[in-house]
Structure 1
Amino acid sequence: MKYKIAILLVLAVMIGALYAYKKGVFATEKDQYAALPLPETVDYNFHIKPILSDNCYTCHGPDANKRKAGLRLDVEHMALSELPESPGEYAIVPKDLDKSKVYAVIVSEDPGQMMPPPDSKLALNAYEKKLIKKWIRQGAKFERHWAFIPPEKTEVPKSEVSDWGHNEIDGFILDKLEGQGLGPSERATDETLIRRISLDLTGLPPEPEKVPTLLRDISEDKIDKVIDEFLASPTYGERMTQSWLDVARYADSHGYQDDSYRTMWPWRDWVIHAFNKNLPYDEFLTWQLAGDLLPNATKEQVLATGFNRNHPITQEGGVIQEEYRVNYVLDRTNTLGKGILGLTLECARCHDHKYDAISQKDYFEMFAFFNQVDEKGLQMDAVQAKNQKFFADPPFITITADETEDVLSFINMKKTPRLNVMVMNDSAPKTTYILNRGEYDQPTDSVVPGTPATIFAFSEELPKNRLGLAQWLTDTKNPLTARVFVNRLWAMVFGKGLVETVEDFGVQGSLPTHPELLDWLAVDFMEHGWDIKYLLKKIMLSATYQQKSELSPALKKADPENKWLARAPRFRMSGEMIRDYILATSGLLNKEIGGPSVKPYQPKGLWEETNAGGNRGVLTTYVPDGGEDLYRRSLYTFWKRTLPPPSMTIFDAPNRDFSEVRRQKTNTPLQALVLQNDVQVLEAARVMAQCMVSADADNPDYVTEVFRRILIRMPKKEELLTLKAYYHNALSIYQNDLAEARKLVAVGNYRQLDTDPAKTAALMLTAQVIYNLDETITKE
């Protein structure tokens, strides 16, 4: 009994302490919010709309089916009109708090009156209430959603106290820094910049042999020339394509249960080619969305439309064809929204969007552009699959080795003389219907192709097909297309976009940290012919990009997320880049460009575990490729939807079932285990060690050379002492156990060199340690 009393007393004390803690925290938060200074002018888009969106739009927003009391707060004339259920009262009366019902209910403490209601688990803090109060007093001015206002070039800010900066980007960045009481960091070293630029533009480290030559250049335009060199490299197109594959949901298998083989790699090779020849972004989009509808379309332009066919396709018997056909069209519509417009269009499939001014009718008008393809499904048998061919109902494009079309100039045909690749080809016009709750078998009202007028009206002069849609997207008056792509390139380089939610420029998305800079870059991008290389070079020549990435205690306290860019970012590379980095620095990387996807090392049995029965024959067992194909860039790794490459998914690669724009970023023990134990990493370390020992068996300074090759810099004294001690300790162990040394260096299929096993094993482990360093897998 006394134990029970003691336990109850302990629990009572704990609960009391927790209550006191929470009360203190809440009180602190309340005081903190109350103490925040209000802006001189309250801006609707940046101050008020986020509050209303988070707390009010669920019941008083765009979705008519969920709207309560007939009140809509996202549209100015409705928010300022007489309340439908309370004649004589108004939700908002500009400059009059006493008559503004909205203000009365948000400050009310009566549970029956307060808004949001207590059961919603939502509440405005003291600062938000003060913002709304000041906004109403200032006239309650509404604006269109910021992302739907066409971008304009504002005057570049000029500092009165600093001449820091190389171009217009720096003017905007410095203006924000000074507003936060911050200043920029010093310039990074040339070594750091060369590695940073190489990783950003090629996805690979610079070749160690080239770095000394680049460093010896003392001209003022050294970095300018470095950027040009990497932009001109064929590996630039591979780097840019890698990120586009996520957007395009590219895979080498169809998905669903059977998940059998598909031949879409020629489309992937076209993307590499398009980036390398610097196809303007407006054309890049137009070809992929509607290349087949261009006048006198070339085979290359038709091939580009494979973008629309990258979605999963079922091969299962007994399915309802119309259900899956509708799913394919839905997928294309959603990909357009997330991947190109930066909007969550899919939220309007079943009902009006709850936050953005996009109705269900708007959604199915967009859907109608993609609803003209005659898709009866895909049929394939095991024999055809083994021959890497498939036969589908039209449309498909056939490419043969004896053709002389330009399309073949960039496709590496290798051993496959004839290919069928799915592309777009509109059939007779179909009537599109709004689908009740988005269900394929519940058509309601018919619609014609169109776009949401809240974004940008679809001109009557445009054809109501995919070509018209592409022309609407790339119109310089479209407020989203250039903004979204510029922001995505910024995120690729800086690790985070000026709008952090690169996939969502809607009301629930993040607000831009530097809206004037984003708009300036978007307009400048269009003024320079949608030139992607021009935009990347502009960013990389900025002093903002060329800063050090060191995080001082003061900066950590003032701006822990580096929102204001007082330093260069520092973030882990993608799984593909990490693998390619290891292959490149070890000398294993096969630099061949294009061709069919390949199968590198993978743990045994994974495909068998996910196989649905094996009736299709081709993807039931994983058989790694041999020879040089084991060491192709990760861009070419075979991508099976039901089991993507595990060493990449562990580093947050998506499965590509649908378009993905922003990868999740995690830090898990599994990632460390991959770097410590994956056969590709161990083999790379072994090959590097054997090559060095073979070339110079008596080199007393192997460790320095390994360090330099991997990290593209010379080691510091402390680093070198630590690593040399590790090497010599391992050497001593393996000299006394040559059998264990030979066992260790036997890893991997790459040819073995006749080298001292003890030296090789010790140097191999030293290289592996360096591959596991945070600096190795980080872009800084």
Structure 2
Amino acid sequence: MKIRTQVICLLCIAVIVAVAPVGCKNETGSSGSENKLPDVVSYNFDIRPILSDKCLACHGPDANKRQAGLRMDDAKSAFAALKEHPGAHALVAGMPQLSEAYLRITSTDTAELMPPPSSNLKLTPREIGLIEKWIKQGAKYEKHWAFVPPKKAPLPKVEMKNWPKNEIDYFVLQKQEQKGLKPNDEADKERLLKRICFDITGLPPTLKMMDDFLADSSAGAYDKMVDQLLQSPAYGEKMSIHWLDLARYADSHGYQDDGYRTQWPWRDWVIHAFNENMHYNDFVTWQLAGDLLPDATKEQLLATGFNRNHKITEEGGVIPEEYRTMYVMDRTDLLGKGLLGVTLECARCHDHKYDPFSQKDYYQMSAFFNNIKEVGIESVIGGPETYAKKPMLEISNEDVRKTLTFINKQDTDRLIVSVMGDQDTLRKTHILHRGAYDAPGDEVQVGTPSSILPFNSSYPQNRLGLAEWLFDKNNPLTSRVYVNLLWQEFFGRGIVKTSGDFGMQGELPSNPALLDWLAVDFMEHNWDIKRLVKQMVTSATYRQSAVVSPQKLAADPENVLLARSSRYHVEAEVIRDMVLASSGLLNPMIGGPSVKPYQPAGLWEGATSGRGLLSMYVQDHGAKLYRRGMYTLFKRTVPPPTMVIFDASSRDICEVRRLKTNTPLQALVMMNDPAVLEASRVLAQRLLEEKSDTKSKITKAFRLIVCRKPKEKELEILSRYYDKQLHSIDAATANKMLAEGEYPIAGDVDKKALASMMRTISTIYNLEETIMKS
């Protein structure tokens, strides 16, 4: 078929497609507005997703797979004459009927149709309509949205004017109304209190907090409680959890020997920084370049432990330069994923296939971290001198008394931490062919990808200049990425779901205007983290009930539009904290060395070389058994098993998003973990010591664990269960049950009653609602 004939025939088809009526759905599902085309079609948000899904495999950046010499993601190629038909063009601005790309996607000839039927890909009528309208409007290509500095749009107009509580809600509600959805009512006070306590402090509310909040009927009761929680020392501990993942913090060096390391004083600093509400620009600058600040203090030096948390080998026989290069790359990759939200590491061996980062860009970024006074291997695993690697900071008892008062140093032993520190002479940085340490190419200087923001010559040519570049008001990524990470913490899913990839292959923001508004607002208020947290948790969006109707579930199964609160289990560390706090076992001490609680026997012994302090698991005792989950010793080769089962990071590399799974293993942990069984026993004993009836005891246990009053039916079932256990448990079974855990049992206790109450409380710990944020 000749091109001219095809144009005439397909123009008629295009008209039919364009005017074809679209169906409507009910109000609570997807309405007709879902098929309505936007007034202005955006390349970034409307067209590129279609091309990415349906076209770029054959007509994209991968030269090895490219067909017909055509790139549809590149304007120059898309508007050029086609290689196989010089008289035709894939796109002709303003004229879809002359655009070969449009003619192919609307063709009825299977030999001409794109995507070809063999690909099993097909464009929907709406996608075809978007492409047609985009071409009519000039087929304008745009720079990738994430590389354009955010702008603060005016608040959207909404119909439910009485619903928003702050600016966030206008943007969220507008999206819901566009889809015919309405937000849920506010959650009841008990569930709302549980939610903010777990989200802000990682601990359940106390009975007094519950009673006070329920009794406070004032308009400001909720805000008052939020302020109280933000001032709690536990706030810094909870906020640190996601940062420890990002910073790949662990208590061991990694690799086969996996020896002990003393980076925990850096963790103490992170908790301190969050509690002091250190603003994000200073928080990151100190961690990247505290050693380069004028007259740097020991605290600023300690902060740079952030970039010495990576895996370090202690094995003989390695090639030192190979591993030193790996450490530099690790820091570069963390900068990309954790602070910039891009897959910079993809340019380590070649130019990035999808994002505008060259291999030269990667090594210019790595040059910031290539001058550290370190070696690939410093010593063989052994005594205290190997707990930290040079460059390192020694912290004395005098330091802890006078300046570093936030460090929980519990003995007089030598305390050393790996920190950053540059060489006196500049180490040269080269592009490495295929990323190989022993294949240097052209020499490069420090620099940043111009596609994000060129590195200004006025900046210091070191890590301090890199920090200034990160917090330049024109940097399009830094604020967006952190705002998105915090949104993910409080709402379960980032506005950009792929929180470590804002690039071409990442997901588009579900609400780009909201993301940009928050990013600009965060910068305008001097990168104030506590203010941002309060902004999120006081929104009407956050305060919604988690109840979901079948209609809403069908219309928005992943809750992208936030017409309800999301339900998912809290973090692994927080599950442990909830168990300990509700039972009264929690040791609230902040900071200090990591501890070794109960763990199945034999895990460490079979996994490493058999050398060093961590070759065998020697469990701690006493108060150390009841520290918060974030203080559990993290050995990289054998992470704490209960933590991993509940989706904790492995801490091998920078992680910005934990999976949220629901597995049988999680149920088995809650049923059999000695920590849970011991907590059940201890709480049972405390309740039995009180002068109250059985229902009152069970009610109190339920409130402490589930954080609400039980319904009458729930109380009746649990009371019957207790009575049944009391009459069926024999002495041998009771003794076996009560042997769980090291916390002492009162000598005069009724063991059958204690075992029966223990089983009842264990049942409450095993309710799904117990570990759910809802």
Report the TM-score when normalising by structure 1.
0.91
Contact 1:263-1:388 within 8 A present in 2 as well: no
Give 1:210 shift.
2.5
The residue identity in structure 2 corresponding to 1:762 is S
* 1:401 equivalenced with 2:400 (yes/no): no
Determine the structure 1 residue equivalent to 2:562.
Answer: 565
Determine the structure 2 residue equivalent to 1:624.
Answer: 619
Change (3 A) 1:334 1:188: same
Contact 2:319-2:376 within 8 A present in 1 as well: no
* 1:168-317 correspondence to structure 2 within 5 Å: 168-317=167-316
Give 1:215 shift.
2.4
The separation in 2 between residues aligned to 1:380 and 1:293, in whole angstroms, is: 27
The separation in 2 between residues aligned to 1:765 and 1:132, in whole angstroms, is: 62
Contact 1:300-1:406 within 8 A present in 2 as well: no
Contact 1:63-1:352 within 8 A present in 2 as well: no
The separation in 1 between residues aligned to 2:23 and 2:316, in whole angstroms, is: 60
Give 1:683 shift.
0.4
The residue identity in structure 1 corresponding to 2:348 is R
The separation in 1 between residues aligned to 2:23 and 2:113, in whole angstroms, is: 18
Change (3 A) 1:764 1:502: same
Change (3 A) 1:103 1:445: farther
The residue identity in structure 1 corresponding to 2:769 is E
Residue by residue over 1:304-361, the C-alpha shift from the partner in whole angstroms, topping out at 9 and shown as x without a partner, is 1111111111111111111111111111111111111111111111222222122222
The separation in 1 between residues aligned to 2:23 and 2:692, in whole angstroms, is: 69
The residue identity in structure 2 corresponding to 1:249 is R
Q: Unaligned stretches of 5+ in structure 1?
A: 1-28
* 1:452-463 correspondence to structure 2 within 5 Å: 452-463=449-460
Change (3 A) 1:606 1:281: same
Determine the structure 1 residue equivalent to 2:641.
Answer: 646
* 1:139 equivalenced with 2:138 (yes/no): yes
Change (3 A) 1:523 1:744: same
Determine the structure 2 residue equivalent to 1:708.
Answer: 703
Change (3 A) 1:30 1:325: farther
The separation in 2 between residues aligned to 1:266 and 1:160, in whole angstroms, is: 52
The residue identity in structure 2 corresponding to 1:703 is I
The residue identity in structure 2 corresponding to 1:410 is F
Match of 1:535 among 532, 536, 539: 532
The separation in 1 between residues aligned to 2:62 and 2:453, in whole angstroms, is: 20
The residue identity in structure 2 corresponding to 1:668 is T
Determine the structure 2 residue equivalent to 1:487.
Answer: 484
The separation in 2 between residues aligned to 1:156 and 1:95, in whole angstroms, is: 32
The separation in 2 between residues aligned to 1:611 and 1:354, in whole angstroms, is: 38
Change (3 A) 1:405 1:326: farther
Give 1:108 shift.
5.2
Give 1:107 shift.
4.5
SS in 1 for 2:756: helix
The separation in 2 between residues aligned to 1:447 and 1:114, in whole angstroms, is: 47
Change (3 A) 1:177 1:123: closer
Contact 1:61-1:354 within 8 A present in 2 as well: no
Contact 1:62-1:358 within 8 A present in 2 as well: no
Contact 2:737-2:755 within 8 A present in 1 as well: yes
Residue by residue over 1:4-35, the C-alpha shift from the partner in whole angstroms, topping out at 9 and shown as x without a partner, is xxxxxxxxxxxxxxxxxxxxxxxxx9999999
Contact 2:314-2:380 within 8 A present in 1 as well: no
Determine the structure 2 residue equivalent to 1:9.
Answer: none
Change (3 A) 1:415 1:65: farther
The residue identity in structure 1 corresponding to 2:247 is A
The residue identity in structure 1 corresponding to 2:744 is R
The separation in 1 between residues aligned to 2:460 and 2:755, in whole angstroms, is: 67
Contact 1:373-1:425 within 8 A present in 2 as well: yes
Determine the structure 2 residue equivalent to 1:129.
Answer: 128
Contact 2:681-2:754 within 8 A present in 1 as well: yes
Contact 2:277-2:528 within 8 A present in 1 as well: yes
The separation in 2 between residues aligned to 1:118 and 1:160, in whole angstroms, is: 44
SS in 1 for 2:441: strand
Contact 2:156-2:170 within 8 A present in 1 as well: yes
The residue identity in structure 2 corresponding to 1:766 is T
Give 1:661 shift.
0.7
Determine the structure 2 residue equivalent to 1:18.
Answer: none
* 1:591 equivalenced with 2:588 (yes/no): yes
Change (3 A) 1:758 1:254: same
The separation in 2 between residues aligned to 1:194 and 1:698, in whole angstroms, is: 27
Q: How many residues align?
A: 745
The separation in 2 between residues aligned to 1:468 and 1:64, in whole angstroms, is: 36
The residue identity in structure 1 corresponding to 2:742 is N
* 1:479-558 correspondence to structure 2 within 5 Å: 479-558=476-555
The residue identity in structure 2 corresponding to 1:647 is T
SS in 1 for 2:506: coil
Give 1:74 shift.
2.9
* 1:427-506 correspondence to structure 2 within 5 Å: 427=423, 428-506=425-503
* 1:424 equivalenced with 2:420 (yes/no): yes
* 1:311-460 correspondence to structure 2 within 5 Å: 311-381=310-380, 383-384=382-383, 387=384, 390=387, 392=389, 394-403=390-399, 407-427=403-423, 428-460=425-457
SS in 1 for 2:336: helix
The separation in 2 between residues aligned to 1:405 and 1:122, in whole angstroms, is: 67
SS in 2 for 1:367: helix
Contact 2:314-2:377 within 8 A present in 1 as well: yes
The separation in 2 between residues aligned to 1:366 and 1:278, in whole angstroms, is: 29
Determine the structure 1 residue equivalent to 2:7.
Answer: none
Give 1:144 shift.
1.3
* 1:553-702 correspondence to structure 2 within 5 Å: 553-612=550-609, 614=610, 616-696=611-691, 701-702=696-697
